[in-house]
């Protein structure tokens, strides 16, 4: 096996991806809401009454993004805890715990080749803020 660290990152948890999708959907819905109000699709006349969106744009945008941010942060936190709990001995492809296996081999779950001492570098690329012991 090569002694170069793996160039790919570890696989993120699905909750992180779902959080990103919720943020994007919230942003698109908020933009649609603003545009609908601007064009007068709501049940008011924008020329005589104050606009529904006047002064509330930052709050509406924050409210549309909040569920996605919460889900993404929670998924990231769960992922970091899992990596630390297993001392970064998780398969980069499927997160299968490789604690009781040999130093090199193939993951029993997905078949990806691994070298235990190089897995840390892959997880450091995925979660650079976690502190893993060297070695």
With contact defined as beta carbons under 8 Å apart, do 15 and 128 qualify?
no
User: Per residue in 88-130, pLDDT tens?
Assistant: 899 988 999 998 888 899 999 888 899 888 888 889 888 888 8
Q: pLDDT band at 5, cuts 50/70/90?
A: very low
C-alpha–C-alpha distance, residues 15 and 38, integer Å:
34
CB-count burial class (<10 Å; 0-12, 13-18, 19+) for 132: middle
Whether the predicted pLDDT of 135 surpasses 60: no
Whether the predicted pLDDT of 49 surpasses 70: no
Half-sphere exposure of 125 (CA within 13 A, CB side): 12
User: Per residue in 50-87, pLDDT tens?
Assistant: 555 555 666 777 777 888 889 989 999 999 999 999 98
At 58 the pLDDT is: 65
Q: What share of the chain is helix, strand, coil (3-state, %, to 5)?
A: 50, 5, 45
């Amino acid at each position: 096996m090569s002694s170069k660290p793996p160039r790919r990152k570890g696989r993120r948890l699905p909750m992180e991806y779902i959080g990103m999708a919720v943020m994007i959907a919230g942003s698109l819905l908020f933009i649609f809401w603003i545009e609908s109000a601007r064009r007068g699709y709501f049940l008011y006349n924008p020329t005589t009454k104050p606009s529904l969106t006047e002064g509330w744009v930052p709050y509406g945008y924050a409210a549309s993004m909040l569920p996605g941010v919460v889900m993404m942060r929670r998924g990231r936190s769960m992922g970091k805890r899992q990596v630390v709990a297993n001392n970064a001995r998780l398969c980069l492809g499927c997160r299968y715990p490789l604690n009781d296996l040999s130093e090199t081999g193939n993951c029993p779950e997905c078949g990806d080749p691994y070298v235990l001492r190089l897995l840390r570098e892959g997880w450091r690329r995925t979660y650079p803020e976690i502190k893993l012991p060297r070695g």
